[in-house]
Amino acid sequence: MRRIYIIGSLALLFASCKPSVNITTAPVAGNADFSNYLAIGNSLTAGYTDGSLTVSGQLNSYPERLFEQFSMVQGVHGAKGPFIQPLLVSDNGYPGPKYVLGMTYNPCIPADSSLGPISYPNWIMNPSDVTYTSPSNNGQINNIAVPGIRVADYDVAGYGNYPAFVNANPYAARFYHNAGTASPLDELQYRVGNLYPTFFTMWLGANDVLGYATAGGVGDGTGAALPFPGTNIYNTNSITPYDKFDSLYDKALNVAISTGAGGALINIPDITNIPFFTTVPANGLILTRQGQADTLNARWGLSKIFQVGANYFIIQDNNGIRQAVPGELILLTTPQSNFTCLGWGSTVAIPQQYVLTTDEIQNIRRATASFNSFIQYEATRHNLAYVDMNKYLSTITTGVTYNGIKYTAEFVTGGAFSLDGIHLTQRGYAMVANQVIAAINAKYNSTVPSIDVNKYHGINFP
């Protein structure tokens, strides 16, 4: 019986030592120095989500995620902090309400209700959000992203002079050091002098095509638009002229690298892939009875053919009224009830500011390709990391599986894009951060660890 006792104690021995796995090694900076990190960009860099800027959005911006990962790097080249973002006080949305999911009702068919984005109903303006003061003694700010900013705006003096100056930006007004007169280039110069960054990321250029796209292509899409007479200011509905983009991007970049900082340049996504443009199908006119088709055929004549099933909408373009063709895009902002209440797309043409036609889509793609080739050229020339976010976000269109979740570019349900169909969720921004980290590690031989994306929030369902 003594042997049984021995076996018993052996069992206890096995049970008491619990297994553990630790295969990580201390992250290293490689040839990079993350100790002072500056983020330059637009709404995507500011943490804009669900159609507005909120403090929780800012705290989950991809620069915040990057800073956290850079902080894991040991030694003098790891990020030390603090990482200061111009945080809002309110989580309601600034300067207007964020979207939340809620029930929406079709005014013509009250029984037809569904879950969709609505403006946050309890929104109030918090006066203390209008301006921002850094808690740091020397006014340090590490994320100087401004939602809405274009490369084309970088030489516009008084860009933060809101609301006095009509082309000013309320987000720039919150924290620009010299908001009354400074251009974004001046602000960048000031921040670089103030922070003396050792590392930066720059994600600029999306708004140089997005404004044209979200306006339904009503502006100048040629890439050779002219400024308002007597100014250096371009209509936000137009695509920024290619040469203007290149020269201002180059100027901004030269300021960013003036301290000898390393960094990463992030290119412009193909915005025609994002839910804002892909959610409403161009052939979303569903006819269930032959009578409906006959009525529309009689209404529009032989040039447009309607049948039972899916039909392409009737749209307006620069040359008049016609039926949409495959590949054309209807904007998410098209008032949904107008399809049923006013006959938009069937008896009445969808106005052109809600439609991207084939030509307009080509303008967007051509400009995106031109800007991205310049960004890549600059990255190569200045020996910086180049992040092909265009390629990565395109893979989300077909679906990216991560730790058991399949993320897609589906509106609301896809998990990566927020309720505005343009900006990302917290998880989407974490995925972006992982792409930036991968490019930085490849370029600088660093081993910054990637982020557990699913730790953060996706879409919030009521």
- Which residues are near other proteins by CB under 8 A? 1, 3-4, 7-8, 10-11, 14-15, 17-24, 72, 101, 104, 106, 112, 114-116, 279-280, 284, 336, 339-340, 399-406, 408, 410-415, 449-452, 454-455, 457-462
Beta strands per DSSP E along 106-166:
113-119
Identify the residue whose tokens are 């003098």: 76
Nearer to other proteins, 22 or 138 (CB): 22
Q: How far is the CB of 450 from other proteins (least distance, A)?
A: 5
Which C-beta is closer to other proteins: that of 18 or that of 289? 18
* Least separation in angstroms between CB 396 and other proteins: 13
Q: In whole angstroms, what is the distance from residue 84 CA to residue 159 CA?
A: 22
Query: CB-wise, 75 or 180, nearer to other proteins?
Result: 75
C-alpha dist (Å) from residue 165 to 153, 157, 179: 13, 10, 11
| Minimum gap (Å) between residue 351 Cβ and other proteins | 16
* C-beta of 148 vs 284, nearer to other proteins: 284
Are β-strands 320-323 and 329-330 bridged in parallel, bridged antiparallel, or unpaired?
unpaired
By C-beta, is 72 or 157 nearer to other proteins? 72
Q: How far is the CB of 139 from other proteins (least distance, A)?
A: 34
Shortest Å, Cβ 249 to other proteins: 33
Looking at residue 24, its amino acid is T
- For other proteins, the closer of residues 19 and 320 by Cβ is 19
Spatial neighbors of 137 by CB under 8 A, at least 6 apart, are: none
Q: What 3-state class would DSSP assign to 264?
A: strand
Q: CA–CA separation, 23 vs 273, rounded Å?
A: 38
Residue 252's nearest CA partner among 202, 292, 286 is 202
Minimum separation from the CB atom of position 273 to other proteins (A):
15
Look at residue 323 and give its three-state secondary structure: strand
Q: Which residues of 319-329 are buried (b: 16+ CB within 10 A; e: fewer)?
A: eeebbbeeebb
